[in-house]
Amino acid sequence: MNLINSSIEAIDSIKRNQKPLIIDLKFWSNGIAQFDTFTSVSPEQIGKYLSYSDTIIEKLIKGKTFRNLKKSEEYRDIDYYYQNNKFHFYNTKEPDEIWSQEEERYVINKTYGEDILVVDNILEIFGSFNDGHFVLINDSVFFYVHQLMDKVGGPFKIDNISGRWKPIHKYYHEYSPINRFILFIDNYNNTQKSIFFPDSNLVISNYDSLENEFINSIFKTEIPKQKDLISSKKLYLILTILLLSIILNFWLLKKK
């Protein structure tokens, strides 16, 4: 906003002082570098515009700007507002009424409408009314907002992902034998499959690789090499942890 505001006020000066600037090296042709350029003022001047202070903009930043035109009152709707350079997700769970002995009447649960997650950046949001929502703050780190919109898990990190430019391809939410999400992520045109267990806060990043290794180990008849033995031990260790996690979740569900 500072940049836009400064540009409007200094439009004549900007027009007079624009020069071609190199923004990216595209490719080489016959030994000559071909650059992407655009016409602008110097980066130093842009930096001054960005640091420019304006009372109107400061007032806007300090105020609440909701994702929708106004605060959401829909049951289990994902929503947030922007304030002081941060994104605030708030509880949209249908307010519970509890009996107050002092007032001798039912009163609204005070957590309704309160912030449940505050982040500096939002890259992507996906999910649904029934599944809950994933809030990604960069290409590989996410928070999970539970179905009832009153609590958040995370942050969780998906390993071996860097600089992806496409959104999550798709996901499957499977409830049996245990609650889990399978995420399909485009990682530079290679689809990586990860699995997330929301009840135990467990993420397995390279789930597709583990599946392939396990299947190959079943049908492999030759004597394994030392390197293969180490890899198999890691695989069985991860699968053992996964099995223990499933057993633990069954025990917790039964206890509830």
191 pLDDT exceeds 60?
yes
Residue 31: partners with Cβ closer than 8 Å, 6 or more residues away: none
Supply the pLDDT for residue 119.
97
- What integer best gives the mean pLDDT of the chain? 79
Higher per-residue pLDDT: 212 or 8 = 8
User: Residue 82 above 80 pLDDT?
Assistant: yes
Tokens of 238: 């991860």
Note if the bond before 224 is cis, omega within 30 degrees. no
Tell me which residue of 152, 164, 76 sits closest to 119, measured CA to CA: 152
Q: Which of 73-87, 91-105, 114-128, 150-164 has the lowest mean pLDDT?
A: 91-105
Contacts of 7 (CB under 8 A, 6+ apart): 14, 49
Angle value at C-alpha 45, between 42 and 51, nearest 5 degrees:
145
What's the pLDDT tens digit per position in 116-170? 999 999 999 999 888 999 999 998 999 999 887 778 999 999 988 877 777 887 8
CB 3 within 8 A of CB 50: yes
Task: Look at 2 and 196; give whichever has higher pLDDT.
Answer: 196
CA atoms within 13 A on the CB side of 193: 11
Residue 244: predicted pLDDT: 67
Task: Give the pLDDT score at 10.
Answer: 82
pLDDT value at position 198?
92
pLDDT in tens, 158-184: 988 877 777 887 899 998 888 999 999
Instruction: Domain ranges for the chain, please list them.
Output: 1-59, 63-156, 158-256
Mean pLDDT of 196-211: 85
Q: Residue 213, Cβ neighbours under 10 Å: how many?
A: 18
Query: Between 254 and 18, whose confidence is greater?
Result: 18
